[in-house]
Amino acid sequence: MSTIAVRETVLADGRQLIYFDDADTTLSPERLPDARVLDPRPATASMRQDVLTGEWVSIAAARQNRVFLPSDDADPLAPATPTNPSEIPDVYDVAVFENRSPSFGPLLVDDNAPRGLDDLAELGLERTRTSVGRCEVVCFSPAHTGSFASQTPSRARTIVEAWAQRTAALSAMPSIEQVFPFENRGAEIGVTLNHPHGQIYAYPYVTPRTTKLLDSIDRFGPDMFAQILEREQSSERVLLRGEHFTAFVPFAARWPIEVHMLPHRHIPDLAATTSDERDELAVLYLRLLRGIDALYDTPTPYISAWHQAPVNRGRDDVRLMLQVTSPRRAANRLKFLAGSEAAMGAFIGDVPPEASAALVREAIARADQENPV
């Protein structure tokens, strides 16, 4: 039986590049090296603590100069050509590499590294630390345009495998406390590249959203996710249900389009999934995103976020969860975060979750009929 092959190499400045070849790939295992002459890696960003909340803000000035919506012949995520010396030196199915201008990067100079979670939890004025961590780009395809939804089932499975393997590898790195794979899709979300891709952030702390989740589990009880799944599976908000995963619109959805997906057993992260679970996840996720795209006549902007348990906390209680959110509240209307949401974090929903679920179910059915997985 064919398997997904993994081939590791390095770029001209020492950053890691990993090729994931589809199980049914037609590519040769040999890949060209990176022949570019690159400047040394920029200094790693720094973090500043917001004393009002205790949260850390990464100040990554190098990101200001990143490429913005380039033409196809200057696509930095396409396989390199003589006229386009891109980030990926040869042909590929799926490619993962370290971001050249990361928000969280290697400790190039040992000057002000975080000293563990206790250090970061302390509160004080004008506290700074180096933004130690890792940011990776996950290229879904060599094509210039598209998204996860435009991939074949075989390619979707390769991407899921890449997420799982990179979650395991990043979680094992020193100073990493949480790993977050995600995809931003659409100009309305603020993407700077049309190339089908996602990212993986490896943070030196537990993110604010997950910190709140851990507090909720402490207050509710360790079976919180099991109870959520049981309630949602019996509701009218279910969208897709397989042997291993269920997708649904949550009871208290904040966004006009908001979908969650939970595994049926407790799994802390993608690295802990079995091969059978990854097989099903690739298919269900593909169907879900194709359905969300079928809601209207033009592609749907969204953020697709894989919430995973922290590396060293809550592994027995925090369950892997996919959350897909879109600000699109009608064919030509977007929900913008106004005063209540942006300033106070107090959301007001525009679409009842049950109505949203009915619309998404109908769109999934149309997409399944037009383009079955």
**CA 10 to the chain's CA centroid:** 23
What strand order describes the sheet that includes 245-248?
A: 5-10, 16-21, 94-98, 134-139, 197-203, 178-185, 302-307, 321-326, 257-263, 245-248, 238-241
Question: Annotated catalytic residue: which of 197, 244, 260, 307?
Answer: 197
Catalytic annotation present for 244: no
Is the separation of the CB atoms in 184 and 303 below 8 Å? yes
DSSP 247: E
Q: Angle, nearest 10°, between helix axes 275-293 and 153-171?
A: 120
* Residue 324 CB-half CA count within 13 A: 26
DSSP 243: S
Q: Cα separations (Å) of 273 from 245, 276, 308, 337? A: 11, 8, 12, 35
Is the separation of the CB atoms in 132 and 175 below 8 Å? yes
Is the separation of the CB atoms in 150 and 159 below 8 Å? no
- Rounded CA separation 167/272 (Å): 9
* Tokens found for residue 371: 């383009």
Residue 19: strand pairing partners? 7, 95
CA angle 108, 60, 181 (to 5 degrees): 90
Residue 59: strand pairing partners? 46
Q: Cα separations (Å) of 145 from 27, 91, 140, 160? A: 21, 16, 10, 19
Measured in degrees and rounded to the nearest 5, phi and psi for residue 262 equal -125, 145
Amino acid code (one letter) for 239? L
Cβ burial of 42 (10 Å; 0-12, 13-18, 19+) is middle
Active centre residues (catalytic): 197
